[in-house]
Structure 1
Amino acid sequence: MRNGLINAILAYVMWGLLPLYWKLFDNVPAGEILSHRIAWSFVFVAALVAFQKRWGEMKQVLTNRAALLPLIVSSLLITANWLIFIWAVNNGHVIETSLGYYLTPLLNVLLGVLFLREKPNRGQWLAIALAGAGVLLVAVDYGSFPWISISLAASFGLYGLAKKKVKQEASIGLLTETGIVVPLALIYGGYLGAKHLSTAWTLPASSLLLLMLSGAATALPLLFFAKAARKMPLSTLGFVQYIAPTITLILSLLVFKETISAVMLISFSFIWVALIVYAASTFNRARATEPASVS
């Protein structure tokens, strides 16, 4: 559990800072950034698997339908999530991405109850209700259906559920996920090149190198997340996720100069109180289930 928590914190801090990275390429279309992100992620993870000498495990996954199916599902979900997130950041919707990832933990709790038979206690249900109230306030204040937020929450929440079904080591699972969609990324990149529509390859050398490093920027938090998902309850993992949208919210206000209303500030206060209640309740449950020490 402790190791899983450390991996989760590392993943969510890195994800919270990603808008700073994608803003460097705001003149590159989202689809083109996504194709590079997938391709360079595949290269990075393939090199990692080669270094770990795990190609034998990779072959076993590719020949095992039961192991491959959840990875196909998770691959499609995370690809959709990436595309929506990149488009939203580079089109001035960073606060909406923050709301989406505030919604995700609530969805994780629901998915954990429905599919994994997780049973939150009363304190945890209270925390969920408080966070739900905060998110509802944000949605009402937003004034229209927040499709960006809902899409991000649904795709990443279901991705987390799919990862709970994956039994492979993190690097093997991620290589399979990127390998499933890398042909589409290469085809799209080739199409852009043939039509002379490619923007990325006209970037300065320093910017192009940074775009190539998107493979590492993508893969590292996913590797940490995969390790955390195998060691933590989905509901608890979801609440740790509030680290990422909080960092993103701060960036949207201080760096990207987006505006936030008083209602949104109140709603985020609800969410932070929910975090405190959830953490206290989880800690008390853990202490109650510890065996008595022998003196």
Structure 2
Amino acid sequence: MTPLRLGYLYGFGSYLIWGFFPIYLKLLRPAGPVEILAHRIIWSVLFVALLLAALRNVGFLRSLARRPRTLAGIGVAAALIAVNWGSYIYGVNSDRVVETALGYFINPLVSVLLGVFVLRERLRPAQWTALGVGAAAVAVLTVDYGRPPYLALVLAVSFAGYGLAKKRLGLPAAEGLFVESAVLALPALAYLGWLAARGGLAFGHVSAGHTALLVAAGVATAVPLLLFAGAANRLPLTALGMLQYVAPILQLGCGVLIFHEPMPPARLAGFALVWAALLIFTLDALRHGRRTRAVARATAPLTVTNH
């Protein structure tokens, strides 16, 4: 199998898992959102630690200890992904799967805004148009919900911020996930201890199957991230960008078709505006990518071979 095909396989695998993740999270009830988040963190640390030990790749921890700025960046990334995970779990288990899907549809547009305000990037006219249409979509959805779509916005901003932090850190997927989860592990353990002392811990008190599902949260968290890293190393950025819409489409399908969440006409109109913004954004990215490659080929120096 070629690296390109393997990249697509990894990419589809990661987004398929993320797309059907609401079904898994529903099975974790009656555990509360914070308890589920704590288990997700703790079992991720253990799973990735075993993986790194099997790969004999633990020496990176010593080098990180000598890089305080990197450690601070990891702390920021850990806080952002904790907010993202916690908000997503809360949304799914409070029957707001459709709104969580909206957050991941909006995410690329928020990433563009971060590029403007944090990285000082300049936008092309089509990108400004996409942002304007996206803002109109949020306005329509605010009218429909009777409030701004807070959950979707928190998910979009936290994940876009996490992506920016990861880009600046440049850590490999497994190592980065391990350190981020390790930063959060002590607060997670403290919360579970407090919950157990109050008699409110679901872990071990519902059924053997429920306990196994909570333990499996580590694998369910780490595997799609590792698949995504494999895809990112093999696919062009434009292809990876197109694949990212697979997950929210599947999440939306879960919310409407499986969990029967309402989709009134005004909400559908808001989603349609979001999809229009993403279409403009994606087509512009594809066109810009082709133009950049054409310019690179035209300006590439000729190679002279002596026979």
**TM-score grouping bracket, smaller chain normalisation:** 0.7 to 0.9
Kindly state the Cα deviation for residue 208 of structure 1 after the two structures are TM-superposed.
1.4
Task: Return the match for 2:77 from 68, 74, 77.
Answer: 74
Contact 2:138-2:149 at 8 Å conserved across structures = no
Q: What are the equivalent positions in structure 2 for 1:41-60 lying under 5 Å apart?
A: 41-60=44-63
Q: Paired residue for 1:170? A: 173
The letter of the residue matching 1:248 is Q
* Aligned equivalent of 1:153: 156
Deviations 1:169-188 (A, max 9, x none): 11111100000011111122
Unpaired runs of 5+ residues, structure 2, are 303-307
C-alpha distance in 1 between matches for 2:274 and 2:169: 30
Deviations 1:126-180 (A, max 9, x none): 3333333333322221111332222222221211111111122111111000000
Residue 280 of structure 1 is matched in structure 2 by: 283
Asked if the contact 1:137–1:264 (Cα under 8 Å) also holds between the matched residues in 2, the reply is yes
RMSD after superposition: 2.9
- C-alpha contact 2:106 2:274 (8 A) present in aligned 1: no
Instruction: Tell me: CA distance 1:59–1:184, structure 2 relative to 1, closer, same or farther (3 Å).
Output: same
- Larger mean CA deviation between 247-256 and 125-134 belongs to 125-134
CA contact (8 A) 1:192 1:198 kept: yes
Aligned-pair CA distance for 1:237: 6.8
- Residue 226 of structure 2 corresponds to residue 223 of structure 1: yes
Alignment correspondent of 1:21: 24
1:192 Cα deviation (Å)?
2.1
Question: 1:104 offset after TM fit, Å?
Answer: 2.0
TM-score under structure 1 normalisation? 0.87
Confirm whether residue 114 of structure 1 aligns to residue 123 of structure 2. Answer: no
Q: Which residue of 2 aligns with 1:270?
A: 273
- Same amino acid, percent of matched pairs: 38
Bigger drift between 230-239 and 151-160 goes to: 230-239
Which residue is equivalent to 2:191? 188
Q: Could you say what secondary structure the match of 1:129 adopts?
A: helix
Alpha-carbon separation, structure 1, partners of 2:120 and 2:12: 24
TM-aligned CA distance change 1:288 to 1:147, over 3 Å: closer
Aligned match of 1:36:
39
Residues 9 and 162 of structure 1, relative CA distance in 2, 3 Å threshold: farther
CA distance in 1, matches of 2:237, 2:76: 17
Q: Distance in 2 between matches of 1:72 and 1:206?
A: 33
User: TM-score, normalised to structure 2's length?
Assistant: 0.84
Question: Aligned residue for 2:305?
Answer: none
Residues 15-42 of structure 1, C-alpha deviations (whole Å, 9 max, x = no match): 2211111000221111111111111011
- The alignment covers a number of residue pairs equal to 293
Structure (1 or 2) with the larger CA radius of gyration: 2
SS at match of 1:199: coil
**Structure 2 match to 1:87:** 90
8 A contact 2:238–2:285 mirrored in 1 = no
Secondary structure at the counterpart of residue 20 of structure 2 = helix
| Separation in structure 2 between the aligned mates of residue 135 and residue 22 of structure 1, nearest angstrom | 26
**Alignment-mate amino acid for residue 35 of structure 2:** E
Per-residue CA shift, 1:58-116, capped at 9, x if unaligned? 22113321221111101011112211211221111222212222222221110012223
2:256 to 248, 253, 257: 253
1:84 touches 1:148 (CA, 8 Å); kept in 2? yes
Which residue pairs with 1:131 in the alignment?
134
Give structure 1 regions of 4+ aligned residues with deviation exceeding 6 angstroms: 2-6, 227-239
